Amino acid sequence: IFFRPSDMPDPHPSTLAATGLAGIVTGALAFVSAVDTRTLLKLADSGQERVLQQLFPIWWPNGRDLMLPLLLVTAAAHGWAFGATRDQAWLGTGGLVLAIAPYTKFVLGEDIAKLRAATSQDVQQITHSFCFWHHPRLLMALGAFGCSL
């Protein structure tokens, strides 16, 4: 389908796995940035704090339960790609993907805890903070995916 010089070797399965998984992480976080954060902000700005108070304790654990294993498997695939190719760039991209997890815990963790137990007067401000600080995770994923390509 695509032009590839005949002297170019086939990519190692590990690099395909690492790149593909980084693309999935990027897609998942792009969806959160483009859809979920906009939805949360719309609810907050339209005075629907009660809906957010009911939604967030359900929505967040489901997202976490998808993203944490996905991040760990993706980082492991980047480690595998490094092991197979000895190209240190895979360590950088894997580290960038893996850094999303502690970023979430330490940067977003306070907002997450507050939103899971929020009172009505706090919900709008906390939702705005959470949504604002979510977007760097997408940039990290985009960086890892782009460099993996």
* pLDDT for residue 91: 97
Judge whether residue 117 has pLDDT over 60: yes
Judge whether residue 57 has pLDDT over 90: no
Judge whether residue 121 has pLDDT over 80: no
Judge whether residue 20 has pLDDT over 90: yes
Q: Calculate mean pLDDT across residues 110-126.
A: 82
* pLDDT for residue 120: 65
* pLDDT for residue 112: 87
Report the chain's mean pLDDT, rounded to a whole number.
92
- Looking at per-residue pLDDT, the higher value among 114 and 40 belongs to 40
pLDDT class for 37, splitting at 50, 70, 90?
very high
* pLDDT for residue 103: 96
> Are the beta carbons of 49 and 120 closer than 8 angstroms?
yes
* pLDDT for residue 9: 75
The pTM is what? Answer: 0.90
